A and B are shown apart, each in its own frame.
Chain A
Amino acid sequence: MNFDLDVFLTPLFSWVFMKAALITLALAASAHAGAILISVPMALGLNSHSRLLKAAIRLYVGIFRAIPTLLWMLFFWNAMPQFSAVFRESWYTPFMAAWIALVVNEAAYQVEINRAALNAVDRAQIQAATAFGFHPLQIFRLVTLPQAARVALPPTVNEFITLLKATSLASVISLQELMTVTNQAVATTFQFQEYYAAAAVYYLVIVTVLTLFQGRLERRFDWTTERRPGGSLIRLLGGRAR
């Protein structure tokens, strides 16, 4: 075994790898944001009284959770252009195809997290807001959302970490993300150890930073310790209680 330290260190400071890591991060973050955005209304739909709506959402979750992310990526990149000319235009890059595949896939997982979080909100506190004449949308923004967000946070960060690693599947559709450039480097140099180790460091750093951020966020969501009223969660979420 002859581990070449220089070969290992070069990608850690090379622009090609850094850019690939940024693409990885951007894809995961934007896909998760999109997934959360569509999964919140879906979670509300699951809690609604409409049987048709619930059945439709269940069907969605059933389909998109059962089929592997890899298949979705290949499907959106290779098969969609056969359906419509829209997907043969220049905007439809590997990044877009991977993004759509991850959004529709991840939303199916996030729905259940959101639903559990919404159900964990104390009914009595919602009733109290009702009793004071709050509009239903205000109740959602000021009471339901902040309380549900706290419950949803740890499993959501967990999902994000899974998603971050799932972006590596986009190497099959030639997106220049971290695993793609790693494979390309390996293919020309055959220095497996060094490049794999370098890629591992990138993932490790991203996830570690994220975990630290999660800790900070959770402390912010902790409303059992005394804190100045100024730094409140409502402001964090863009409310106007201050």
Chain B
Amino acid sequence: MAEVLPRIRVRDLVKSYHHLTVLKGIDLDAEEGSVVTLIGSSGSGKSTLLRCLNLLEIPDSGDIVIDGEALHFDRRKKAGGVDARQIRRVRSSLGMVFQNFALWSHMTILENVIAAPVHVLGVPREQAVERAHALLQRVGIGEKHACFPAQLSGGQQQRAAIARALAIEPKALLLDEPTSALDPELVSEVLRVIRDLAEGGITMVLVTHELRFARDVSSRVVFLHQGQIGETGPPDQVLRDPQTEACRRFVRSELGTRMSSVEE
């Protein structure tokens, strides 16, 4: 009877803005150590789903369980029926990586990485600094710790943002189109870091348009279509042999127009 829960479980999640329903009852599981990749055309709801996971958007209804912490949403209650402290606790257990990096521009890279551990989690400063240096080494920008974000390239900034997300020792990493804002020649260095993390066993939910990369790193690919799960399965199946017409059309158009820049 003791079923092992996945790291992230989503059941019947609904989110709408005014009269537009963006998510129409989503079920999603991310097992520990797996990489779940969300694909779909713009407006399909994939970014909204990701933002619902760490409650940047409060769902109207449904359930989210993150590492055993259960949240039940009910639009009739204030703030969806979850309290502010619980929301912050969930947020501080998930590392978010944004399309536009969103590093804090007035802090050095090191300060960016230690900010959440020190101020949200209460980690002693010395310990946070030590760990931050190790993480910056890991993403290959160890020598940039004293720079401000504006002094780094886009690829370096995104790698710093990944280090920042890892610094809170997250239950899972949420990546929202992490390479979409990068110059083509900078995409591969970021993808390499993500691949390295995936191989290191970090649970990830990834929104991306890099389908070739998704095929390489994903445990499972979820194709979202008009706010619903259009198709889901192993990457080889969804990306090479889509079962639905919508997914087939999406994959064909994406692979036809985009050249993934990381292939080794």
A residues within 8 Å of B by Cβ? Answer: 122, 124-125, 127-135, 138, 142-143, 146-147, 150, 221, 223-229, 232-234, 240-242
Selected contact of A232 from candidates B56, B105, B107, CB within 8 Å: B107
Q: Given the complex, which residues of A lie within 8 Å of B118, measured CB to CB?
A: 240-241
Q: Is the CB of B105 within 8 A of A133?
A: no
**For the complex, is B102 an interface residue (Cβ under 8 Å from A)?**
yes
Task: A125-B104, A143-B106, A241-B111 are known; give 9 further A-B pairs, CB within 8 A.
Answer: A122-B105, A124-B98, A134-B116, A138-B120, A223-B105, A224-B148, A224-B150, A234-B107, A241-B107
Q: Given the complex, which residues of B lie within 8 Å of A127, measured CB to CB?
A: 56, 98, 102
Q: Is the CB of A133 within 8 A of B104?
A: no
**Across chains A and B, which 4 residue pairs bring their CB atoms closest together, nearest first?**
A133-B92, A128-B102, A133-B91, A132-B116
**For the complex, is B197 an interface residue (Cβ under 8 Å from A)?**
no
Enumerate 28 A-B pairs (CB-CB under 8 Å) in ascending A order: A122-B102, A124-B98, A124-B102, A127-B56, A128-B102, A131-B54, A132-B92, A132-B164, A133-B88, A133-B91, A134-B116, A134-B120, A135-B88, A221-B106, A223-B105, A223-B106, A224-B148, A224-B151, A226-B146, A226-B147, A229-B108, A229-B111, A232-B111, A233-B106, A234-B107, A240-B118, A241-B111, A241-B118
The chain A residue with its CB closest to the CB of B161 is A128
Interface extent on B, as a size class?
35 or more
Q: Given the complex, which residues of B lie within 8 Å of A241, measured CB to CB?
A: 107, 111, 114-115, 118-119
What per-residue 1/0 map shows which CB atoms of B55-98 lie under 8 Å from chain A?
A: 01000000000000000000000000000000011111110101
CB distance from A14 to the nearest CB of B (A): 45
CB distance from B57 to the nearest CB of A (A): 11
Q: Given the complex, which residues of B lie within 8 Å of A135, measured CB to CB?
A: 88
Q: Is the CB of B104 within 8 A of A128?
A: yes
**For the complex, is B217 an interface residue (Cβ under 8 Å from A)?**
no
Q: Given the complex, which residues of A lie within 8 Å of B106, measured CB to CB?
A: 143, 146-147, 150, 221, 223, 233
CB distance from A242 to the nearest CB of B (A): 7
CB distance from B117 to the nearest CB of A (A): 9
**For the complex, is B207 an interface residue (Cβ under 8 Å from A)?**
no
Q: Given the complex, which residues of B lie within 8 Å of A146, measured CB to CB?
A: 106
**For the complex, is B139 an interface residue (Cβ under 8 Å from A)?**
no
Q: Given the complex, which residues of B lie within 8 Å of A125, measured CB to CB?
A: 102-105
